[in-house]
Chains A and B, each alone.
Chain A
């Protein structure tokens, strides 16, 4: 793994926090393009976590400061240089009300599918790219299922009505 501090030194807009680069989401394209220019990096994955308000869990590497309620969007970049196959994490924290991030499709083409997945399941709108449509769920699906405030759609068949009757009678 290349030294993360050295990578951060050439990226003026990134700071190092518990083993990951933390950036403003709006600067993602700029930062990722700079990382790509270093050579030997490839976009591996985009992960997103719906963080509640309050203290978030400490990361495996150490304690992190408190965040407000946010989406934690992370670009996982694969370091393919000699002797290293580790992951460089570039994090950004996005407001719940304005769930938007710029698309990095122009930097790495593999972002296409990954961004559509995050949009479908988490509802982060990636701007500046074509075909941002649902990839896994139906086109008429309502909501974004991996958000914590997602309400499960009602199922009319299961459990069957007879079960409710049993429960009303006090049985198991």
Chain B
């Protein structure tokens, strides 16, 4: 601080500046929902940042205590609404663990197919909204076009575009529609072509590189320390993916890579999504080939009461590792449901990394972390 009584100080250019508070959000086009950051700024530079969340807190964990186990399944889609088909997975695994239900093999495959398709749509949404924050409207329409192809496939299976209530306790809600598999294989080719277009248009773009390369790098120790998971962790040089390292469902039967990048900056966090999208397409192709016949849903009683106990299950969701803690007291309603939200833990790194960034770099930073407010606020 300078010797001025008003708290003004001189910056390196000799201009007299004064710190001020900037509330970014909750209604802001670049905060991806109702996230709010309380920034203390010195001119263009962030001095300190504070997360202010909770503007979408819907109290779903409390509502779960008033619903039956299966009634709560559709609500789980509303946590991370960008990946609605992937969301109930950890929850239904927890239920199956509590009730000792064996899921038919076909159901596991269908779960992998819809889950990975949903991961593709979620990653496409992330890269689309990230470039939208840089005002790249054209690139945004490319990514959304690719996303519509995925949503068409998912809609044919689940009947919904966004909040698919598809995975249920004991399997999936319905079988794949007739003739869907060849259609899906053809559509995947189109999705890859559209993704290539987007990749070519954006990833090497001079302006895009200028706004993302070397911005807010996070190294792997910091990432572990702050509880980062998922693509954000893998962009920091730690190749940790539950699908490979601790396979749930039938993920051990597929051959896929876990992409890892080492700089941990905004560009790495962006590009790892593109790489993961390609890997997901590989998984879907293999699953479509191996898809066995048979039942798609185990027999589960309408009024279902698991034994008293608790289950803690985790999956690799679109935004990181998501875990459910489900406690049952032997009645038809859960005693306690807790969701470990990947986005909620990921934003913990913002106050640490924001100081020193300029405001536009801060926007790149929060866009690259890819959080969803439904996931943070619950």
Contacts and interface: CB of A to CB of B under 8 A. Distances in A.
Interface of A: 42-45, 47-50, 57-60, 76, 80, 84-87, 89, 108-110, 112-114, 117, 121, 134-138, 145-146, 150
A59 B327 CA distance: 9
B242 interface: yes
Interface string B289-323: 00000000000000000011111101000000101
Given A42-B224, A84-B246, 6 more contacts: A45-B323, A48-B338, A76-B312, A80-B224, A89-B312, A114-B345
A85 B242 contact: yes
Contact of A58 (B53, B245, B309, B311): B309
Contact of A113 (B307, B310, B311, B345): B345
A110 B377 contact: no
B369 to A, nearest CB: 13
Interface string B325-339: 101111000011010
B320 to A, nearest CB: 11
A43 B377 CA distance: 20
27 contacts: A44-B227, A45-B325, A45-B340, A47-B312, A48-B338, A49-B327, A49-B336, A50-B336, A57-B310, A57-B335, A58-B308, A58-B309, A60-B309, A80-B240, A84-B246, A85-B240, A85-B245, A87-B312, A109-B348, A110-B226, A113-B51, A114-B345, A135-B51, A135-B53, A136-B377, A137-B54, A145-B62
A86 B246 contact: yes
A150 B377 CA distance: 19
B348 A57 contact: no
B54 A136 contact: yes
A85 B246 contact: yes
A146 B336 contact: yes
Across the A-B interface, the 8 shortest Cβ-Cβ residue pairs: A110-B227, A57-B308, A85-B246, A136-B54, A136-B57, A45-B340, A60-B309, A113-B348
Nearest to B59: A145
A91 to B, nearest CB: 11
The B contact surface, by secondary structure, is: mixed
A95 B28 CA distance: 43
B97 interface: yes
A109 B336 contact: no
B139 interface: no
B216 interface: no
B110 to A, nearest CB: 25
A158 B54 CA distance: 23
B377 A60 contact: no
Given A42-B227, A113-B345, A59 B309 contact: yes
Interface residues of B, number: 42
B6 to A, nearest CB: 27
A85 B245 CA distance: 7
A150 B65 CA distance: 12
A36 to B, nearest CB: 10
Contacts of A86: 246
B127 interface: no
Nearest to A55: B308
A43 B310 CA distance: 20
Interface in B1-36: none
B333 to A, nearest CB: 13
A108 B348 CA distance: 12
Nearest to B63: A145
Contact of B348 (A87, A112, A138): A112
A121 B59 CA distance: 9
A138 B26 CA distance: 14
Contacts of A137: 54, 57
A110 B345 contact: yes
Contacts of B147: none
Interface in B95-114: 97-98
Nearest to B225: A109
Contacts of B307: 58
Contacts of A134: 54
A43 B345 CA distance: 11
B335 A43 contact: no
Contacts of B378: 136
B246 to A, nearest CB: 4
Contacts of A135: 51, 53-54
A43 B340 CA distance: 12
A43 B321 CA distance: 13
Contacts of B59: 145
B323 A44 contact: yes
B352 interface: yes
A143 to B, nearest CB: 11
A57 B309 contact: yes
Nearest to A86: B246
B250 to A, nearest CB: 17
B347 interface: yes
A76 B245 contact: no
